[in-house]
Every structure is written in C-alpha cells, then in structure tokens.
Homo-oligomer: A and B are copies of this chain.
Amino acid sequence: MDIAIFVFDDMTALDAIGPMEVVALLPGAELKIVGKQKGQVRAGKGARSLGIVADYALGDVTAADVLIVPGGTGTRALVNDDALTSWIKNIHATTRWTTSVCTGALLLAAAGVLNGVPATTHWAAMDLLKKLGAVPTDRRVVEEGKIITAAGVSSGIDMGLTLAAKIAGEDVAKAIQLMIEYDPEPPFDAGAASKASPELRKLAIELISS
C-alpha cells in the first residue's frame, strides 16, 4: 500500500508526521515522501525550521493508495503552482483515500478536488477554504466519500486513526493508538477555536507570525 505524503518549504511538520506515524504501522504500508523536487525541504522558517527529505520528486510518483497533504504557511504560494495542483488532481484520480491536514485542504481545493465538497482546515483558514470552492465544515475530521480532511495541525492524528480503521479495521487502529500511546491529557482546555476568546486567538496568530 503506497502512501504518498507531500512535503514542502514552510510546511507544518506535525501536520504530516501525526498521520504518518499512524499509517506507517498499517500492515504493508510503504511511505513515499514527495517534494516538488527530490531533496531537503525546510518545515517552518529560519531558526525554527526542520529539514525533511523528499525521497521522490512529483514526476516520480504517478499513483498512490493514500495521499496525505499537510498544511503550513507555505501553502499560500503553492495554491497557484500548476505543477503541484495538476499532480494532486492526477494522484487523487488513482487513490483509495485522499486526505489533508490543516491548510493542506487549501491545496486539495486549489487542485479542484474539493469543489462543493464539505471539508475542514485550520480555524484561521476557513474563509480561504471557502474562497477556493469547498464547503467549510466545523468538525475535527470531515469524511466525504474517499476524501478525509482534518482541522488544524494535531488533528491529523485523529484523522490518521480514522483512516487506519477504514483500511485495516478497528482492532488494528486500536493497536496503533495503543502503540503511539494516544491517550491525550492536554494541560489546558484551549485547543478549540469555538471556545477561545478573541484575545487568545490574537495571541495565537501573533506567535505564528513572529
């Protein structure tokens, strides 16, 4: 089972690594880490960035059983990248499951995959998602046919486990959840935009922009 994960400069690493760690444990999983070109991309910016290696260029991968498109600030430039959006559209035509995490949904939308389709993204990008033709849906994981979109960053873990259950059944998904010891205990009840004060939203945006 080929699992293609697109990586790019100024992506959010956790968007990709959350679901990756889950689906990599599926029996028969093979990861294809795909970039615009082969070689290193930098997740995040400057002194806060991490080098991730694209083992394949877009042209090297022409089909996949599962596509995972992560998000990050770098998506804003890529929505106008025809080589990428064509690739996503073509891969989507071959997949059993097409998925995104966070603003990865903007790339699916730019590729025409989400036209009129209920989907989710990071809370701060819902308007953009609508402009790109999707139907913004305020849930953590949104399933619509073979398309599964997840909300911001950490929601990719929940999406990955949902997907694992569809692919390999609930027992395997539960065993993966146990292996990654996903029994969350967030120290604060602060992760949902619907419950956040305007001040907290503002501070969050300032932190990501600084």
Q: Which of B49, B176, B192, B206 contacts A31 (CB 8 A)?
A: B49
- A25 near B188 with CB under 8 A, answer no
Contacts A51-B53, A154-B182, A184-B184; is A177 near B161 (CB within 8 Å)? no
Counting CB contacts under 8 A, is A117 at the interface?
no
When C-beta atoms are compared, the residue in chain B nearest to A18 turns out to be: B14
CB distance from A124 to the nearest CB of B (A): 8
When C-beta atoms are compared, the residue in chain B nearest to A17 turns out to be: B17
Interface mask (A169-184 → B, CB under 8 Å = 1, otherwise 0): 0111111111111111
CB distance from A87 to the nearest CB of B (A): 20
In whole angstroms, what is the CA distance A178 to B204 when docked? 7
List the number of copies, as a whole number: 2
Contacts A179-B208, A188-B173, A188-B177; is A50 near B161 (CB within 8 Å)? no
When C-beta atoms are compared, the residue in chain B nearest to A189 turns out to be: B183
- A204 near B176 with CB under 8 A, answer yes
Counting CB contacts under 8 A, is A93 at the interface?
no
When C-beta atoms are compared, the residue in chain B nearest to A54 turns out to be: B51
Counting CB contacts under 8 A, is A145 at the interface?
no
Q: Which of B31, B140, B141, B201 contacts A50 (CB 8 A)?
A: B31
Interface mask (A20-31 → B, CB under 8 Å = 1, otherwise 0): 110011010111
In whole angstroms, what is the CA distance A190 to B177 when docked? 6
- A155 near B178 with CB under 8 A, answer no
CB distance from A32 to the nearest CB of B (A): 9
- A157 near B154 with CB under 8 A, answer yes
**Most chain B beta carbons < 10 A, residue from A12, A52, A205:** A52
